[in-house]
Amino acid sequence: MTLFAWLSSILVAVIVLTVTAFGLWWERKLAGRMQSRLGPTIVGPIGLFQPIADLLKLVQKEPIIPQRADRALFWLAPPLTTLFALLVAALVPFGPKLAPANIDVGVPLIIALGGLALIPVWMAGWASHNKYALLGAMRAVAQSVSYGVPLVLTALVPVILAGSMNLNSIVAWQHRHHWLVVWPVFLGLPAFILFILAMLAEANRIPFDIPEAESELVAGVSTEYTGMHFGFIYLAEYVHTLVGSAVASTLFLGGWDGPFGPSVLWMVLKTCLLFSVLYWLRWSLVRLRADQLMALAWKWLVPAGLALVLLAAVWTQTPWGR
């Protein structure tokens, strides 16, 4: 790896973590406004330092390990969740040159790493030796396996259209074709929506957050965790959603491509916008039941994804798809 690659990966990590930190604040503000209250206001100007205060609080707390827990896995799992979530970020290009790992098989690798993030979650649930944690872990696994299929299928749509699995090439193709959701819109838009749905489910977010449904499972996987360990799991979820938004922006919304100005700005802007939309969804939708969740994946998303892949393949054979 060259020095430049190291630098850009550090830069991307910094971007991601900063945005995540302020994403926390932004979400609470947004949620507050949606529910006719103010959200955090005390710490810092308009409560801007609230996430930092939260972090300090978490670090100070005592880590508690249940007696019959699997100690090694219990310790290992939370940092791994955050690590895997961050790994994906290393593959997303934040500019034409600003991609820590600009490799030719970006799309499968991103999806694979996103799927990997599930394993530490499951580890955490299993290691806790708590039935709610285990149930949450099992739900997460089932959900992730089911939604991985439509995720791959919808990500294939831009891959087929652009004829490349390199994320930078996909963005360049979208630049030539005025973004994917704009043209061809009948392929890009449904694929985008399906991708967002599947991505939300992979990240266990509302309306697909049955693995940690607090009304049934206490807190699911994170039931037994305290202190910074809990913080890692909590953080991983946010990083996951953020990186998911970044990937969706790259695959469908033109990525770093913008009419003027630096490319990083556009990428961050699009990602944050999508991120906010996901918050909006989170605070306005209700949770699905487990069976509804599976039905949605297998009866709707998978057939629709298959149809989209087929259509995309046909489209490339038409005169307009060249």
Partner 1 sequence: MTFTATMIVFALVGALAFVGSIFTVRSSKLVHAVLWLGVTLGMTAILFVQLGAPFLAGIQLLLYVGGVMTLMIFGVLLTKRDGDSELKTEEPSRERGALIALAVFAVLAGTIWLGRDALQRTAVPSLGTGWLGTSLLTRHLVAFEALSALLLAAMIGAIVIARRRDPDQPSEPKES
Partner 2 sequence: MTTPMWALIAVFAPLASALLLAVLAPIRRRGGLAAAVSITFALASLVGAIFAVIGTLHAGGSDWTRSWLASGGALPLSVTFGVHVDGVSAPMLAVVALVATCVQLFSTGYLDDESSASRGRYFAYQSLFLFSMQLLVAAPNLLQLFFGWEIVGATSYLLIGYWYKKPSAARAAVKAFWVTKFADMGLLIGLVALFGFTGSFEWTAQLAPAAATAVTLLFVLAVMGKSAQFPLHVWLPDAMEGPTPVSALLHAATMVAAGVYLVVRAQPLFAQAPFTQHFLAYLGAGTALFAALLALVQTDLKRVLAYSTCSQLGYMLAALGAGSAFAGFFHLTTHAFFKALLFLAAGSVIHAVGSNEMSKMGGLWKKMPLTMLVFIAGAFSLAGFPGFAGFFSKDLIIDSLSEHHLWAPYAALLLGAFLTALYMGRAILLTFFGPHESHEAEHAHEPGWSMKLPLIVLALLSVGAGFFGGDLWHLASLTDYVHGVYHFRFGAVASVLALSGFVVAWVAWGKTREEPALARSLAAFANRAWVDRLYVFGYRAGLLLVSDVAAWIDRYIVDALVNVVGSFFLLGARRARRLQTGNVQDYLFAMSLGAIALAVWSIWR
Footprint of partner 1 on this chain (CB under 8 A)?
A: 70, 73, 103-105, 108-109, 111-113, 115-116, 118-119, 122-123, 126, 134, 138, 141-142, 144-145, 148, 152, 165
Of residues 241 through 300, those in contact with partner 2 by CB under 8 A are: 299
HEC readout, 38-75: CCCCCCCHHHCCHHHHHHHHHHHCCCCCCCCCCHHHHH
Report the distance separating Cα 154 and Cα 221, nearest Å: 28
Nearest by Cα to 238 from 104, 65, 85: 85
Chain mean position to CA 21: 15
In whole angstroms, the minimum distance from the beta carbon of 168 to partner 1 comes to 15
Q: How many residues bind partner 2 (CB under 8 A)?
A: 5
Of 111 and 171, which has the nearer Cβ to partner 1? 111
317 binds partner 2 (CB under 8 A): yes
Q: What share of the chain is helix, strand, coil (3-state, %, to 5)?
A: 75, 0, 25
Chain mean position to CA 266: 18
Q: Which does 307 bind (CB under 5 to 8 A by kind): partner 2, partner 1, none?
A: partner 2
Of 110 and 253, which has the nearer Cβ to partner 1? 110
Q: Which does 317 bind (CB under 5 to 8 A by kind): partner 1, partner 2, none?
A: partner 2
Instruction: Out of 108, 163, 262, 303, name the contact with partner 2 by CB under 8 A.
Output: 303
DSSP annotation of 298: I
Instruction: Out of 76, 182, 304, 313, name the contact with partner 2 by CB under 8 A.
Output: 304
With beta carbons less than 8 A apart as the criterion, state whether 225 and 125 touch: no
| Interface positions with partner 2 (CB under 8 A) | 299, 303-304, 307, 317
